[in-house]
Amino acid sequence: MEAAQIIEVSLMTKFTILEISQGTYHKAIRNVADLGFRSGMIYDALHLACAEAEGCERIYTFNLKNLQRLEPKGIVVLSP
């Protein structure tokens, strides 16, 4: 319970929670399928599709390899 409170106070107040539209979700699925990926890559693709939909210029990740393999368009992928 204490960990949940720490996360809510220290992180959740600093982020904007986005709803994933049906179109954004489908774009992520198509991207993974078109590139021949499967399994957990959908989660990386969902993050990328949401960033693109929100007009983000960059996305930070500890998983540079997977996000770069998804061929982001107009978004720089960086490691924190």
The 10s digit of each residue's pLDDT in 19-66 is 899 999 999 999 999 999 988 899 999 999 999 999 999 999 998 998
3 belongs to a structural domain: no
Domains of the chain: total: 1
Selected residue with higher pLDDT from 14 and 50: 50
6 belongs to a structural domain: no
Selected residue with higher pLDDT from 18 and 36: 36
Selected residue with higher pLDDT from 70 and 14: 70
Is the pLDDT at 5 greater than 80? The verdict is: yes
23 belongs to a structural domain: yes
If we measure between CA atoms, which residue out of 65, 69, 30, 25 comes closest to residue 47? 25
Return d(Cα 54, Cα 44) in angstroms, integer. Answer: 16
**Beta-bridge partners for 76:** 58
40 belongs to a structural domain: yes
Range of the domain at 68: 18-78
9 belongs to a structural domain: no
Give this prediction's pTM: 0.77
51 belongs to a structural domain: yes
pLDDT number for residue 8: 81
Return d(Cα 30, Cα 34) in angstroms, integer. Answer: 6
Return d(Cα 65, Cα 58) in angstroms, integer. Answer: 15
